Amino acid sequence: MSPATWRLPRPSPSRIPLSPGSSWSSGEPVWSRGGRATLPAAPPPPAHAARLSLLLALARVADLQAEVVSLREHRDRCEPAMLSLLRETLRLRACVQLQDSELKKLQQDPRRVARAPEKEALEFPSPQNQTQMQALDRRLVEVREALTQVRRKQALQDSERKDTEQEASLRLAELAGRLEQEEQSREAACSGLQKSQEEASQRADLEAAKTQAQVTKLGEEMSLRFLKREAKLCGFLQKSFLALEKRMKVSESARLKAEGGLREELDSRWRGLQELAEERVRALQGQHEVRSRGAGAGGGRQEARRLLEQCRGPDGAVVQLTKFVRQNQVSLSRILLAEQKARDVQGHLEESRAAELATCLREDLKAVQLAGELAQREVHGALELQREKSQALEVSLAELETQVKDLSDHFLALSWRLDLQGQTLSLRLSEAKREWEGSEQKSLEGLVRCQKEAEAHLREVRERVDSLPRQVGEGRAPRLPPPPPRCAAPAARLPCLCCR
């Protein structure tokens, strides 16, 4: 099985508008010379700690992947070790079988050698039997040497078997210890990964709550500041309009006062002129009556002409007075028109300034609203990214947990299998050892018995062979000794030297 390699989605720096050096100097808007407010940029959400936690989680996931790969490599190394142990046990069995076959052959060779001299002694009772007996003695010596060599080989094989058993037990114990350590390390890594995931999720939630609180606080502060500025502007406009109304009222009252003063002056002058004219008319009428009474009709005409000339003088004065009054009215109307135009121009200027201030305020409010909306969108986007990343991390962690559980189950089954194989191997080795020791002991006991019986039989044969010449000289038939009794066969049913 190849190690499962999986990757997590990396955070894209283009979608997260964060900068480590970005900070808020002051939350107030800066007013330019044109009357417009330039707002500072919205504060980015602090996600540096979330990035660090994600990087730590990814590093722990990579460590877990490396640990899984090392566990699989260790399993791959343990399987050949078990195969080598099985091969060693098979080789030991083959060696035991070969030694059994060699023992059987060695037990069969002395029987054949012992049979051949007996037959020759029975068939040919001659002096050559002595040479054959010597050859039989040499053969027995060789058999003893072969038995000593077999015993040495058996001792070497026993020591090798014990060494292999000890090595196999040590390997099994080491493998069990490694599996337990790996299980503990895997459990510790899983618990640490779960704790780190919980801490990362808690940190992300806290940062999201902090950013949301900062955004709401910033929106409230900006709304309060703009409400205060709007209230100030409204108060300033109200004060300016009240001052303008007061000025208009004052100018209107001044104009009305001036017009009333001029009218009163004109009325007073007109009354004075009328009174002067009436007095002159009266005086002239009195003089005319007096003169008419005293003079004749010719003098009446001259007096009438004189009176007409005297009346023309006040008429010219009245005409001049009316011209003066008209000029004063024209100049007063001009002054009033100029003042009205100046007031209109000042009112238009103030209205234009108020309109500009209102438009600037509206533009600033729109800019603030757009900045708040952009900040909220960015915060929502960052939160969605964090949620997606946390979801992807949770999915990957769930997959990793399933993989770790599968691997733990597999390693547990493998450990059980190795324990069972070790137990079966130890049982088989102990059984083979017991069988080998029992068969070896029984074969050695049978060989010793057979050797003793063969030596006794050979002594009897020698004695009979030595007594053959006397019996031949006496003329009696030689009596051969009866064949030796069959020895008790061992449990392994191995034939002895004197059975045939």
Phi, psi of 387 (to 5 degrees): -65, -45
- Say if 284 falls within a structural domain: no
**Residue 115: its pLDDT value, please?**
53
- Say if 141 falls within a structural domain: yes
What DSSP assignment string belongs to 120-133? HHHH--STHHHHHH
**Residue 128: its pLDDT value, please?**
67
Distance between CA atoms of 456 and 497, rounded to whole angstroms? 12
- For the chain, the straight-line distance linking the first and the last C-alpha, in angstroms and rounded, comes to 62
Distance between CA atoms of 495 and 100, rounded to whole angstroms? 12
Distance between CA atoms of 436 and 431, rounded to whole angstroms? 8
What three-state secondary structure class fits 497? Answer: coil
- Say if 429 falls within a structural domain: yes
**Residue 85: its pLDDT value, please?**
67
CB contact burial 403-422 (16+ within 10 A = b; e otherwise) = bbeebbeebeebbeebeeeb
**Residue 492: its pLDDT value, please?**
38
**Residue 30: its pLDDT value, please?**
41
The domain tally of the chain equals 1
| Structural domain span for residue 442 | 45-199+391-474
Q: For the whole model, what pTM was predicted?
A: 0.31
**Residue 294: its pLDDT value, please?**
59
Q: Which of 206, 219, 200, 197 is nearest to 45 (CA)?
A: 206
- Say if 34 falls within a structural domain: no
- 29, 38 contact by CB (below 8 A): yes
Distance between CA atoms of 397 and 188, rounded to whole angstroms? 15
CB atoms within 10 A of CB 204: 20
Q: Which of 45, 64, 68 is nearest to 56 (CA)?
A: 64
CA-CA distances (angstroms) from residue 463 to 28, 134, 244, 258, 358? 136, 14, 168, 189, 151
**Residue 120: its pLDDT value, please?**
46
Report which residue type is found at 288.
H
- 211, 47 contact by CB (below 8 A): no
Distance between CA atoms of 197 and 113, rounded to whole angstroms? 86
Tokens of 393: 């991390």
Tokens of 311: 């009346």
Report which residue type is found at 329.
Q
HEC sequence for 153-199: HHHHHHHHHHHHHHHHHHHHHHHHHHHHHHHHHHHHHHHHHHHHHHH
* Placement of tokens 């001049």 in the chain: 320
Distance between CA atoms of 361 and 225, rounded to whole angstroms? 12
- 44, 383 contact by CB (below 8 A): no
From first to last of its 500 residues, the chain has per-residue pLDDT tens of 443 333 434 434 333 333 333 333 344 444 444 444 444 444 444 456 666 766 776 777 777 777 777 777 777 777 776 677 667 667 767 776 776 677 677 667 655 545 544 444 444 445 566 776 677 677 777 777 877 787 787 788 778 878 877 877 787 778 778 878 877 877 787 788 778 878 877 887 888 788 888 888 887 887 888 788 878 878 887 887 788 788 878 878 887 887 788 778 877 877 877 787 788 777 777 777 776 665 555 555 666 666 667 666 666 767 777 777 777 778 777 877 887 888 788 778 888 887 887 788 788 778 878 887 887 788 788 788 878 877 887 887 788 778 777 877 877 777 787 778 778 877 877 787 788 788 778 877 877 887 788 788 778 877 877 776 776 666 554 454 444 444 444 333 334 433 43
- Say if 229 falls within a structural domain: no
- Say if 73 falls within a structural domain: yes
Distance between CA atoms of 248 and 342, rounded to whole angstroms? 11
CA-CA distances (angstroms) from residue 167 to 81, 181, 351, 388, 461? 11, 21, 105, 53, 53
Number of H helices, E strands in the chain: 3, 2
Tokens of 265: 């002056």
Distance between CA atoms of 465 and 445, rounded to whole angstroms? 30
- Say if 52 falls within a structural domain: yes
Distance between CA atoms of 448 and 454, rounded to whole angstroms? 10
- Say if 28 falls within a structural domain: no
What three-state secondary structure class fits 33? Answer: coil
